[in-house]
Amino acid sequence: MTNADKKPASSSPLRAIIVEDTPDDVALLLRALRRAGYAPEYQRVQTADELDAALHAGRWDVVLSDYTLPDFSGLMALHQVAAFDPDMPFIIVSGNIGEDVAVAAMKAGAHDYLIKGNLTRLGAAIERELREAGVRRARRRDEQALLHARLRLQALSNRMLEMQEAERRHIARELHDEIGQSLTAIKLNLEALTRRIGDERVRGLAAEIAGVAGQVLDQVRRLSLDLRPPQLDDLGLLAALQWLVKRHTRDDGPAIELVAPDDLPRLGGQAETACFRVAQEALTNVLRHAGATSVRIELKNEDGQFCLDVHDDGRGFDLAAARARALEGASLGLVGMNERVALAGGEIRLASRSGTGTHVRACFPLPAGAARP
Ligand SMILES: Nc1ncnc2c1ncn2[C@@H]1O[C@H](COP(=O)(O)OP(=O)(O)OP(=O)(O)O)[C@@H](O)[C@H]1O
Ligand SMILES: [Mg+2]
């Protein structure tokens, strides 16, 4: 029963659901609405089913609801409307039900409460609630847009990291297999040729060229391993970390210790790569910034999680200041660690203070059925 009332030229349209069992009270409400400058278009409902049908049938500005009805109640209507549209203004218009009940209704989410005998506030209450509903809806839209943007960014970031790893793997193999093999052939042939050259000066020159080919070969192999050590794909995280430690251990650098239980579980591709890259970045940071005398890289199983710890005894740093610099785009290492771990479903924590060294901890969920260390 939808009614369109006569609309004075100056009045504003208002689409209202009226939850009310008494026709006289509906008439009372409509009079008050018109007096307040509204041209109401309304639907009267008396049960949950009727309210449900009305909510789905059209777009509404406000719900005006009695508190007590024979087969329904204001509170039930309130929950139903809130579940349908949490931003819809809901005003209770009732006989005198007492202050405590009114307070309970407001606590349950009603936006205002008016007594049927005194509807002078009705226009102002509706105007205010329409305004506030507009603000709430705009905020919700902004939150949704923000959430979607964040999800898109996350997907993009995930994709970029996947592509970066795939590309590194490809270039590393290409360097090692194709260019590396060609350089090996050049070097070996040059060495064989050198042995046959009679002229001493020319032989010296050829030996020198073979030497340079050997150096380039070493550089290409190192570059290939730095891009992505094949251990990570073939033998697993521990072997890759052992290579990393060996690669960075120097007589004039800090002592690097790697501690891991004998039977490490395989974490699965993404988490294992993330774990390796975190260790790599953390160790690079120690060597570049910490001035440490020792570093300890530890893998362990804790509370059903797989954790990587990197401790150093270096000079430490101010985390808040580093984060602020990262926001300006000055450095990417710590940001990249966070991103990788989050995308692999893990958590990362950094603790550092000037003079006390740094602790990086990244934990990943163990895949179901993974053998535990
Ligand atoms: N283990 C550490 N000890 C001391 N300072 C550190 C350590 N790790 C990070 N830092 C500080 O935090 C800053 C940010 O580190 P981050 O890895 O993000 O950037 P970066 O190493 O300077 O550059 P890059 O983007 O190449 O990684 C560093 O510049 C350094 O000042
Ligand atoms: Mg760094």
pLDDT in tens, 139-197: 999 999 999 999 999 899 889 989 999 999 999 999 999 999 999 999 999 999 999 99
Average confidence (pLDDT) over 63-85: 95
Nearest alpha carbon to residue 110 among 71, 64, 72, 68: 64
- DSSP character at residue 35: H
How many domains, the chain?
Answer: 2
Taking the CA of 332 as reference, the closest ligand is 1
Contact 296, 346 (CB under 8 A): no
Q: How far is the CA of 317 from the centre of ligand 1 (A)?
A: 9
What angle do helix axes 269-285 and 333-343 make, rounded to 10 degrees?
Answer: 160
Region label for 98, one of left (φ > 0), alpha (ψ between -120 and 50) or beta (otherwise): left
Tell me which of 120, 155, 187 is where a domain ends.
120
pLDDT band for 97, please (50, 70, 90 cuts).
Answer: confident
3-class SS at 4? strand
Q: Name residues contacting ligand 1 (CB within 6 A).
A: 285-286, 288-290, 312, 314-317, 322, 326, 331-334, 358
81 domain residue, yes or no: yes
Residue from 226, 277, 331 whose mutation best tests the ligand 1 pocket (most atoms within 8 A of CB): 331
299 domain residue, yes or no: yes
Instruction: Return the residue whose CA atom lies nearest to atom 7 of ligand 1.
Output: 285
142 domain residue, yes or no: no
Tell me which of 120, 137, 168 is where a domain ends.
120
Q: What is the side-by-side strand order in the sheet with 38-45? A: 2-4, 38-45, 12-19, 62-65, 90-94, 112-115
One-letter amino acid identity for 348?
I
The residues that bridge with 306 in the sheet, in sequence order, are 301, 364
220 domain residue, yes or no: no
Q: Using CA atoms, how far apart are residues 32 and 120, in angstroms rounded to an integer?
A: 7
Which structural domain, as residue segments, surrounds residue 324? 236-365
What CATH number corresponds to the domain at position 17? 3.40.50.2300
Residue from 226, 284, 289, 315 whose mutation best tests the ligand 1 pocket (most atoms within 8 A of CB): 289
84 domain residue, yes or no: yes
282 domain residue, yes or no: yes
Instruction: Return the residue whose CA atom lies nearest to atom 14 of ligand 1.
Output: 322
pLDDT tens profile 292-312: 999 999 999 888 899 999 999
225 domain residue, yes or no: no
Tell me which of 120, 148, 178 is where a domain ends.
120
Instruction: Return the residue whose CA atom lies nearest to atom 16 of ligand 1.
Output: 333
What CATH number corresponds to the domain at position 356? 3.30.565.10
